[in-house]
Amino acid sequence: MSAKSASQAFTLGIEEEYLLVDRQTRQLASDPPEQLFRACAKALPKMVTHEFLRAQIEIGTKVCTDIAEAREELIRLRQCVADIADRFGLAIIAASSHPSAYWTDQQHTRLDRYDLLAEDLGAVVRRLLTCGMHVHVGIPDNDQRIDLMNQCVYFLPHLLALSTSSPFWGGDNTGLKSYRLSVFNELPRTGLPDRFNSWSDYQRHVNVLVEAGLIKDASMLWWDIRPSCRFPTLEMRVTDVCTRLEDALCIAALYLATLKMLDNLRQNNQRWREYAPMLIQENRWRAQRYGIDSGLIDFRLETKVEFAELVEQWIDLVGEAADELGCPNEIRHARDIIQQGTSAHRQTQTYQQARSQGADHQQALEAVIDGLIEETLSFR
């Protein structure tokens, strides 16, 4: 790797998608004023964009050299977008589903890309009333990016479990900690990526779909992890968006440190064992259904292990890499998530508490939304 490439390796960028809600009704702003988006674009050039649905807004940090810089960026972006939304009587919530909204009431953003998706995918994409968090890690070498993707798949369910924020759908407590994934799985080209032998092997497969006219480019591969087609990064996409900023930074740090740990192994001609997709898929389902509550399978031991124990093993495994990257405190925050629960836990607890105090179903859902609004900016 050249000196220039080495300096670009393991940089970091984070994208978060938020829902825009009316402060008075707590319902989604299904058609927010375009002036809001223009104001955000002026205040944060090239860092704020539309999403598929009008009620969504997406932010993306600049390229960050470390987690400390990413923290500053996320605080600035959340704060700025929230302040601008407030001028229009709206608030942002960092959650992967709105507790009571119905997808049939929403409008998609009228841009060529989104018009094409709406026509191509029908109701499947119109149901996509979900938000996620994507973490980009700079890995300039193409073959290295593919190799690390193949190995990192093992850890995706663990990242998902720590991030869950979508227990409700259309006013219903689904029993899942991440219902977002159920909705997203309906789209084509989602889920775990296939294993590829090299960058050229990956490109060969992508080109089959492009040449057949089925996709425009690799940006229409919506896997849980993928090589970005815009940047020399490996983009993690499996996680819900985290309501608490500290949880988001923890997950970004764990992903970053895990890739660094795998690369350190690679430099010593070692590698993480790769397991069959059917096994990874089982852990993915368990993370989607139970989050951190019921453990995941340790494939080496062939037994289910409590998630708190897995987290301790993970922190130890990536500890040296985290020290190299300057993010040991952020990865240790995973212990706090275990103790305090994810956003999904707090949402269901808020709902149950409100009902126990005499609130009806709708009032309890509104209490959940109020909690999400407050917690999205709890860093202030």
pLDDT digits 0-9 by tens, 221-259: 999 999 999 999 999 999 999 999 999 999 999 999 999
Q: Residue 2: which pLDDT band, with cuts at 50, 70 and 90?
A: very low
Nearest to 129, CA basis, from 215, 51, 34: 51
**Mean pLDDT taken over the chain:** 94
Q: Between 380 and 26, where is the model more confident?
A: 26
For residues 338 and 333, give the distance between their C-alpha atoms in angstroms, rounded to a whole number: 9
DSSP-derived 3-state class of residue 275: coil
Q: pLDDT at position 112, please?
A: 75
pLDDT digits 0-9 by tens, 35-80: 999 999 999 999 999 887 889 999 999 999 999 999 999 999 999 9
Cβ-contact 320, 264 below 8 angstroms: yes
Residues 6+ apart with CB under 8 A from 329: none
pLDDT digits 0-9 by tens, 109-140: 777 777 777 787 788 887 888 999 999 999 99
For residues 45 and 60, give the distance between their C-alpha atoms in angstroms, rounded to a whole number: 10
Residue 82 vs residues 22, 64, 96: alpha-carbon distances, Å: 12, 22, 17
**b/e string for 81-119 if b means 16 or more Cβ within 10 A?**
bbebbeebebbbbbbbbbbbbebeebebbeeeebeebbe
Q: pLDDT at position 352, please?
A: 98
Cβ-contact 75, 379 below 8 angstroms: yes
* DSSP classification of residue 122: T
Cβ-contact 180, 132 below 8 angstroms: yes
| % of the chain at pLDDT higher than 70 | 98
